[in-house]
Chains A and B, each alone.
Chain A
Amino acid sequence: MKKAVQINVNGTTRETEVEPRLLLVHYLRDVLGLTGTHVGCETSLCGACTVTVDGQAVKSCTMFAVQADGSNITTIEGLAHDGELHPVQEGFWERHGLQCGYCTPGMIMAAAQLLERNHAPTREEIRHGLEGNLCRCTGYQHIVEAVEYASKAVNREP
């Protein structure tokens, strides 16, 4: 018994019929083909699947697509604007905030949300804000530096 949903993803609204049990992350990946959002656990423990739903960072494996009906979603693919990287993306590149890159989209989405709430977080606040996102490669230090870089870039902006 499929259900019609209307979801705006990265600025485009789509109407789709989905199974009620379809996870939001699978909707994004399998229905829309937006494979930048990753799955690392399916149990809301790793953060690889983080996207924003109506401006809130959400682990998209913990939500059904039908629950996102009528909402606005941004995924990693929608973060850059007009070919310009988001400051957090830039920070990750500048400061080597990624190695294998698997945690990266979720980490970047979580960090972008963190900076929206707190323009100039301390290192402790960054670590705290990213607690829901696991990275097995980097050891986090370069991620912290990447977010610091982004926060400085955001604060420089007019």
Chain B
Amino acid sequence: MARYVGQRVKRTEDPRLIKGLAHYVDDIRLPDTLHVAFVRSIYAHARINGVDAGEALKAPGVVAIFTGKDVSEKIGPVPCASALPELKVPDHRVLATDKVYFVGHPIAAVVAADAYAARDAAELLMIDYEELPAVVNAEEAAQGGAVIHEQFGSNVAYKLTAGEGDIVAALASADRRIKQRIINQRLAPVAMEPRGVLARYLPGEQELTVWSSTQIPHLLRTQLALMIGIPENKLRVITPEVGGGFGSKLNVYAEEALLGWISMQLGRPAKWIETRRENMQATIHGRGQVGEIEIGCKADGTVTGLRYNVVADLGAYHQLLTPAIPTLTGLMLSGAYKIPAIQINVTGVFTNKMATDAYRGAGRPEATYVVERAIDLVAAELGLDPVAVRRRNFPAPEEFPFKTATGLFYDSGNYEGALAKALENAGYERLREEQRAAREQGRIVGIGVSTYVEICALGPSQAMPAGGWESATVRIEPTGTVTVLTGASPHGQGQETSFAQLAADELGVDMGDVTVVHGDTAIVQYGIGTFGSRATAVGGTAVFVAIEKLKEKASKIAAHMLGTDAVNVVFAEGVFSIKETKKAAAAAGDGKAADADSDEVPEPVVPVGEGPAGALPEPETEGRKKVSIQEVALAAHLARELPPDTEPGLSATYFFEPKNFTFPFGTHIAVVEIDRETGEVKFQRYVAVDDCGRVINPMLVDGQVQGGIVQSIGQALYEEVVYDEQGQLITGTLMDYAVPRAKMIPWFELDRTETPTDVNPLGVKGVGEAGTIGATPAIVNAVVDALSPFGVRHIDMPIRPEAVWRIINSSDE
């Protein structure tokens, strides 16, 4: 019975966080800790003719300085986990050796007694650079000119074509064909906690512990073990509190390996906390796609085919998933529509910039933006309502599981359901009338719709570079409290709460008796981590199935305690009882005893000072018809009277392998008004209906959606990583990189539909990225709609007031 699941339960992680008592990496203090500062390239592309550390070494407090020459033979390359055919993979050393490839490329690590001394000394390092021509524009880089990695002969890292259906015929058969150049600009994830690493090597034990602000503790452990050359079972990775990731910490970074290695060299703990400037320069960026779409349609709006030719700006090196991100874009190009032929042609290109990689949505926001803009272009071309064009191309609910021309099977969906609800909540017809009236008054008002579908619960292992399952261990301790160990690595998503809700309901215990543990490879069984909206759908399912296994064992022990067979025992609300059948009643003894047994379950036996100190007395079960799960747990640990062939203890582990992704969907509607004088875009309404399957905690789901939409608003209106022609990072601080602030955000009117999925027994689909995927095109569509009287069909992101102002002021409507 659901006592907690489905409720707006307050988070159990909050008390420590709101009191300032939680521990992020930088809050962990170990005696004797050394502090590391990195010297990073000030050029986008240069040869290093020499590094002179002489002065720096003499600076007060300096303990050691390591350069590329010192470490490149000792520490293995920074890994790239994606394997595409004929992918060019440059050798990515943890420190630059003879060349630097992007502003922020680490050249040397300065180790000192405190962080101030380390930073001071880093200033003293003399680096002899010989500047080389920087390759900044990805489209030009694909054509020729200076080559970054000379061994490859060009800047093209890979080319890939994907999709099904005869795209040429599909476009040829169309009544109309529309082309549009389309840009998903580079973005910076900007987790509020920058990255940070603390490493401690214990020479006696030969054990290395690495505390890192990461989303993937176990995968990181495996990779670091390989890079540093320490046995994996001597390496422990701990992720303490993590201050946001959004994909930027779904990676293996040079600094993580270096800190571990430095601690091993010097025999003291070593810490590095990224500055915000370093974070902007040397933590992965996202998006960075420049492409052209071509969409064909019939006169009634039916889409016949979609082609997307795209240049992906990969940056100088591949981080963990860099080349794979555009392939996710390719997979999601069908959007929420039946499109018979789809083709994506990707050219992945090296540039003298930081690597792009998974930023919230990771390839899917790009796809959704492409598709949702394309549908609006069709509507504009044909003079149809964008909602009507969407409806014309939706698959019907009975067509699921639905196969796309990109090779996916959408598990379940009711796109019309979410759309209809959103239109109703927004009052779409009335909005259109108001828009007409506003236009007559000379106001510039637009309504944008996006009916997105996303791919979540990553994912089946077949489709993943390093396992797509997730793990859980659930155990009931002798005193009856419940411990859940999850392989997922929550960092704000709230699974300490939602998994406790789930476990408490399934076990019939109080939530307060459940603790969810994660992020320590020495405590938790191997897990994959938190990314790709997978933690609840895949990790939560692992918890659920582990509990099923645990209950199965508990019910055998309970039956034994009650003197019957497991088949006669039922479990409800934390209590095993004998089924009220004649046979069971007979098996349990005479009817009188059964009658005498009250419905009340005795309090779990609390150990008292009988017998030897601390000895736990066996629960009294003579003649009873019920035992609580806590009593069973105690009996399982005492193991004095277990059924034959039963392992003592009460714990179960499960590794859940999903059979498919899930495909959550929804409709987002943005209503904007543009200030004629300034070109500024202002929100009037924002309405969203999301369908992420079954919801464990609606409050957490709302939080995920809201946070996601705001990152979308950032992409649509404000954010862009800008490098100048020399490859200098212009947006290197939070002054120049415009993360949305509270004032820039409208009030969100959120709602849900709930279409179950059978991909996992929980019916949960995932929601971490929905907002970031669904919202961007809704906002841009709204702005384009507002500007359509000026002849505008498309406008590039981020939509700056200046560009809008120019449109308004250079046209005569």
A52 CB within 8 Å of chain B: no
Q: Please determine whether A41 and B276 come into contact, CB atoms closer than 8 angstroms.
A: yes
B1-30 CB contact bits vs A (8 Å, 1 = yes)?
A: 000000000110111011111111011010
A35 CB within 8 Å of chain B: yes
A127: which B residues are within 8 A, CB to CB?
A: 742-743, 745
A89: which B residues are within 8 A, CB to CB?
A: 18-19
CA distance A142 to B705 in the complex (A): 11
A101 CB within 8 Å of chain B: yes
Q: Please determine whether A102 and B19 come into contact, CB atoms closer than 8 angstroms.
A: no
B634: which A residues are within 8 A, CB to CB?
A: none
B192 CB within 8 Å of chain A: yes
A102: which B residues are within 8 A, CB to CB?
A: 24, 191-193, 241, 243-244
B707 CB within 8 Å of chain A: yes
Most B CB contacts (10 A, CB to CB) among A37, A104, A133 go to A104
A67: which B residues are within 8 A, CB to CB?
A: none
Partner of A43, one of B10, B700, B733, B748: B733
Q: Please determine whether A40 and B194 come into contact, CB atoms closer than 8 angstroms.
A: yes
Interface size on A, residues (CB 8 A): 56
Interface residues of B in 726-775 (CB under 8 A from A): 733-735, 739, 741-743, 745, 747-748, 771
Interface residues of A in 40-76 (CB under 8 A from B): 40-43, 45-46, 48, 75-76
A93: which B residues are within 8 A, CB to CB?
A: 10-11, 14-15, 18
CA distance A39 to B275 in the complex (A): 9
Q: Please determine whether A38 and B193 come into contact, CB atoms closer than 8 angstroms.
A: yes
CA distance A141 to B675 in the complex (A): 24
CA distance A103 to B193 in the complex (A): 8
Q: Please determine whether B707 and A137 come into contact, CB atoms closer than 8 angstroms.
A: yes
B374 CB within 8 Å of chain A: no
Q: Please determine whether B733 and A99 come into contact, CB atoms closer than 8 angstroms.
A: no
Q: Please determine whether A40 and B29 come into contact, CB atoms closer than 8 angstroms.
A: no
A142: which B residues are within 8 A, CB to CB?
A: 702-703, 706
A-B contacts, CB under 8 A, total: 170
Partner of A139, one of B116, B192, B242, B708: B708
Of all chain B residues, the one with the shortest Cβ separation from A109 is B20
A128 CB within 8 Å of chain B: yes
Interface residues of A in 84-124 (CB under 8 A from B): 85, 89, 92-94, 96, 98-105, 108, 123
B491 CB within 8 Å of chain A: yes
CA distance A19 to B117 in the complex (A): 12
Q: A33-B29, A36-B20, A138-B707 are in contact. Are A126 and B742 (CB under 8 A)?
A: yes
Q: Please determine whether A136 and B742 come into contact, CB atoms closer than 8 angstroms.
A: no
Q: Please determine whether B23 and A99 come into contact, CB atoms closer than 8 angstroms.
A: no
Partner of A36, one of B19, B29, B243: B19
Residues of B in contact with A, size category:
35 or more
Q: Please determine whether A100 and B242 come into contact, CB atoms closer than 8 angstroms.
A: yes
CA distance A126 to B493 in the complex (A): 24
CA distance A28 to B246 in the complex (A): 29
Distance from B188 Cβ to chain A, minimum over Cβ atoms (Å): 10
A105: which B residues are within 8 A, CB to CB?
A: 18, 20
A77 CB within 8 Å of chain B: yes
B13: which A residues are within 8 A, CB to CB?
A: 101
CA distance A111 to B116 in the complex (A): 31
Q: A36-B19, A93-B15 are in contact. Are A130 and B191 (CB under 8 A)?
A: no
A1-37 CB contact bits vs B (8 Å, 1 = yes)?
A: 0000000000000000001011000000100011111
B192: which A residues are within 8 A, CB to CB?
A: 38, 40, 46, 48, 100, 102-103, 134-137
Q: Please determine whether B747 and A38 come into contact, CB atoms closer than 8 angstroms.
A: no
Of all chain B residues, the one with the shortest Cβ separation from A134 is B739
B244: which A residues are within 8 A, CB to CB?
A: 99-100, 102, 136-137
Distance from A83 Cβ to chain B, minimum over Cβ atoms (Å): 10
CA distance A141 to B273 in the complex (A): 30
Q: Please determine whether A101 and B241 come into contact, CB atoms closer than 8 angstroms.
A: yes
Q: Please determine whether A94 and B193 come into contact, CB atoms closer than 8 angstroms.
A: no
Partner of B14, one of A22, A48, A92: A92
Of all chain B residues, the one with the shortest Cβ separation from A46 is B734
Partner of A42, one of B242, B276, B771: B276
CA distance A62 to B249 in the complex (A): 28
Q: Please determine whether A101 and B492 come into contact, CB atoms closer than 8 angstroms.
A: yes
B511: which A residues are within 8 A, CB to CB?
A: none
CA distance A45 to B702 in the complex (A): 27
CA distance A43 to B279 in the complex (A): 13
B296-310 CB contact bits vs A (8 Å, 1 = yes)?
A: 000000000000000
CA distance A102 to B213 in the complex (A): 12
Partner of A77, one of B21, B190, B491, B494: B21
Q: Please determine whether A141 and B14 come into contact, CB atoms closer than 8 angstroms.
A: no
Q: Please determine whether A100 and B10 come into contact, CB atoms closer than 8 angstroms.
A: no
B273: which A residues are within 8 A, CB to CB?
A: 39
Q: Please determine whether B193 and A141 come into contact, CB atoms closer than 8 angstroms.
A: no
CA distance A142 to B739 in the complex (A): 18
CA distance A12 to B779 in the complex (A): 51
Q: A77-B21, A99-B707 are in contact. Are A38 and B243 (CB under 8 A)?
A: yes
Q: Please determine whether B745 and A140 come into contact, CB atoms closer than 8 angstroms.
A: yes
A123: which B residues are within 8 A, CB to CB?
A: 747
Of all chain B residues, the one with the shortest Cβ separation from A93 is B14
B778 CB within 8 Å of chain A: no
Q: Can you report 15 A-B residue pairs in the complex whose CB atoms are below 8 A from each other?
A: A19-B116, A33-B29, A35-B27, A41-B733, A42-B275, A43-B735, A46-B276, A46-B734, A85-B19, A92-B18, A93-B10, A96-B702, A98-B18, A100-B243, A139-B706
Contacts A101-B17, A139-B706 known; 11 new A-B pairs at CB < 8 A:
A34-B20, A35-B24, A46-B192, A77-B21, A89-B19, A98-B18, A103-B243, A130-B741, A131-B742, A135-B192, A142-B702
Can you list the 3 inter-chain pairs with the closest CB atoms, starting with the nearest?
A: A36-B20, A102-B243, A100-B492
